[in-house]
Amino acid sequence: MNVSVTRIVLALIASAVVGLGATAAEHKGLAGTSWQLLQLGPNGALSENLPTLSFSKDGKVTGSGGCNTFTGTVTESGKAITFGALATTKMSCSEEVNAQEAAYLKALGQAQTFENRATSLLINTKAFNEPLSFVPAKG
């Protein structure tokens, strides 16, 4: 190869590497974040019983369905997300809270993709046409 062709090839490789880095930086993972649910698909979450979701750095997830707490595993791959079986406590709650919690846990079990926007988290799931919508958990 002559020198000018070599420079062009190196410039193309460098720009591709820089471009990959920018894409990775735009997509934030979930490890170390905690969230409160605002929208359960098409429905607003019950304000007095907001479900939560926290991601640890070791692939574990914990949270509340609004009444009971849960723990389990989570796998992220790019924008894909999969929750393992979630173990829950079995406290008795009102019918309305129980219905919200059942829909929330079912939706997490059917999660497909996510988008972490720093000030919001969207999780797309087979359970609803609209994503689950979260905001950062308070304190």
DSSP per residue, 100-116: HHHHHHHHHHTEEEEEE
Does one domain contain both 10 and 37? no
Q: Is the pLDDT of residue 20 over 80?
A: no
Do residues 46 and 16 both lie within one domain? no
DSSP 87: E
- Please state the length of the chain: 139
- Considering only residues 43 and 64, tell me which one the structure prediction assigns the higher pLDDT: 64
Residue 2: is its pLDDT beyond 80?
A: no
Q: Which residue has the tokens 């920018």?
A: 22
Residue 85's domain is classified under what CATH number?
Answer: 2.40.128.270
CA dihedral 63, 69, 73, 74 (to 10 degrees): -30
Q: Which pTM does this prediction carry?
A: 0.79
User: pLDDT averaged over the chain?
Assistant: 83
User: 37 and 11: one domain?
Assistant: no
pLDDT in tens, 94-139: 999 999 999 999 999 999 999 998 799 999 999 999 999 999 998 6
Same domain, 75 and 35: yes
